Amino acid sequence: MKKHAPRILLLDSGVGGLSIYKSIKHLLPHIGVLYVGDNDALPYGEKSDDFILNRVIHITRHYELHYQPDLVVIACNTASTLALPDLRSATTIPIIGVVPAIKVAGEISRSRRIGLLATPATVERLYIDELQASFADDCNMLRVGSSHMVEMAEAKLSGDNLDMDLLKREIEPFLKNDIDTVVLGCTHFPLLHEELQSLGPNIHWIDSSTAIANRVQHLLKAQSLFCAPYPSSHTEIDSAEFTAEISDTLNKKLQQLGFSKIQDNRKELFNFNPNA
Ligand code: DGL
């Protein structure tokens, strides 16, 4: 039996991956998580493909060496819909990506008019065309790309008030077009679920977090790494690292969520040469 509980690396451009973190810890409370928020480069949804690809490979390889996770979760749709094949060839650790739950929308939509709410980069990806063709071919899918909502989710976790008029404007196309099911294709957006629900109470807002938690459990079992309970001396702590500064409010929230070690401003991360 492995001496320590499994440890996983969760990566996003900011706080969005915390929506995935919550679901994973709900299902697997004993595993250790290192959460990395690359907030120095936020928002990923407005960056070039090359920039995102290099950044995500760089960070993953850095922590492959320094944290040695059993599993990596790219808790970011913008990165996952672009970088998974290259990332898998660049590392030896199993990688789980988070991609929009278009399959679920195709299964449950009654009106056959569905929406995708994601970052400007994600809504343009070829990968989205492929998902729609495979799982929601008979649906009319309206795509809305929003970086304002990424900023809003960041602001919410830093204790700032939300501009509900702006949020309403972002989702207006869905409200006006008889859309009954909207896929939250950015991990930041489930953090605004309460507000979205109040503005669009008749819409089914779908996210991928529970499916990802199940996938993590499945892969840990497949690697024979899932054999809880562990003696308390062998459990892992949860840590969070951010590439730029974070607010005191976010720091407190992270502690409440269960992170016992939090570091920000980790610019030195990029002194590491992933090709060395
Ligand atoms: N949370 C990320 C996603 O799922 C990206 C947000 C951003 O940095 O633009 O796509």
Q: pLDDT tens digits for 110-119? A: 999 999 999 9
What tokens appear for 26 in the block?
């709900």
* pLDDT value for 173: 97
Asked if pLDDT for residue 229 goes beyond 70, the answer is: no
Dihedral pair phi/psi, residue 157, rounded to 5°? -75, -10
Query: How far, in Å, is the centroid of ligand 1 from the Cα of 149?
Result: 10
Whether 227 is a known active-site residue: answer: no
The model's confidence at residue 276, banded by pLDDT at 50, 70 and 90, is very low
Q: Which of 76, 82, 179, 184 is catalytic?
A: 76
Rounded distance between C-alpha atoms, residue 134 and residue 198, angstroms: 31
What number does the ligand 1 atom closest to the CA of 185 have? 4
Hey, which of 35, 39, 44, 212 would you mutate to test ligand 1's pocket, going by the most ligand atoms within 8 Å of its Cβ?
44
* pLDDT value for 235: 67
* pLDDT value for 233: 54
Whether 186 is a known active-site residue: answer: yes
Rounded distance between C-alpha atoms, residue 188 and residue 169, angstroms: 18
Query: How far, in Å, is the centroid of ligand 1 from the Cα of 120?
Result: 9
- Only one residue has tokens 């990424």, namely 150
Query: How far, in Å, is the centroid of ligand 1 from the Cα of 229?
Result: 34
Element (H, E) at 239: strand 238-242
What is the CB neighbour count within 10 angstroms for residue 157? Answer: 21
What tokens appear for 130 in the block?
């492929």
What number does the ligand 1 atom closest to the CA of 122 have? 10
Q: Which of 186, 219, 225, 250 is catalytic?
A: 186
